[in-house]
Amino acid sequence: MTNVGFIGLGIMGSPMAAHLATAGHEVRGYDVNAGAVERLVAAGGHGASGVTDAVAGAEVVITMLPNHPHVEQVVFGSGGVLETAKPGTLLIDMSTIRPETSLEIAQAARDKEIRVLDAPVSGGEAGAKQAALSIMVGGEADDFAAARPFFEVVGKTIVHVGPHGAGQVVKAANQLLVGGIYGLVGEAIVLMEASGVDAGVGLDVLAGGLAANRILDLKRESMVAREFQPGFRIDLHHKDMGIALAAARQAEVALPLTGLVAQLVAAGRAMGYGSLDHSALLKVTEQLSGRA
């Protein structure tokens, strides 16, 4: 059993923290939403009154937060992780943020003798609930080995992808692919329906051929049915596309299709679909085609 401080109990963090508690770890969690803390307590964890309370005495601290300003506040702020955690603590940031922030945290933590990994995840709410996340990890190999038992509680595909910041770069690549595929599946549905073809039947065929992919496996039926209950909101994907474009600029490479996908996601937000699942990119294509 390990004492784990878990900060960020949202759509993803809540089931992840609950899995760790169920696995026998002493999990003390904090979120600005008091209801989320209550759900962790019901799952066998403990509630914390704030970041300082969650971190105090923890051997491992996990953060799962919406964006880099939130992570920076929790890590660098007054009473935050770097100020509160004891030397030797393992800080695992599982948020999806810009690589620069991960590098800044690693540098600052080194001076405090705190070990750091950036470990963003893919799999959405379903993957978090099923403990089937893909986890891409940046940092030192020894720290990855120490963290692996915790990763195995919440994920299935767990890979050390490189040094600090590498996990965030791989996650950016994941998000540009996911956004692009959602956009193209939406276009395929619009094309088939406008041509008088049953899109559900058509996607069944496509899912068995070279066009097969996980999004077709998991989301084709809900997309055809126009069910967009959020597993991962367009608002968050918009943030992630910004990270991907910034990473491309930092690496001095051109990603023209990524730019188009980013504009499609931005259009979804502008059309009022930000709170819907990112599969609602279908609605953007419909509106652009005059079929909304």
* Residues taking part in catalysis: 171
> Closest Cα to residue 123, out of 88, 160, 79, 155?
155
The HSE-up count of residue 11 (CA atoms within 13 Å, CB side) is: 16
| The two three-digit tokens of residue 161, written as one number | 């992808």
Amino acid at 278: H
DSSP for 169-227 reads HHHHHHHHHHHHHHHHHHHHHHHHHHTT--HHHHHHHHTTSTT--HHHHHHHHHHHTT-
Give the 3-state secondary structure percentages of the chain, helix then strand then coil, rounded to 5.
55, 15, 30
> Closest Cα to residue 189, out of 235, 240, 225?
225
CA angle centred on 250, ends 248 and 251, rounded to 5°: 65
* CA 200 to chain CA mean position, Å: 28
Q: Are 16 and 74 in contact (CB under 8 A)?
A: no
| The two three-digit tokens of residue 11, written as one number | 């759509």
DSSP for 232-250 reads SBHHHHHHHHHHHHHHHHH
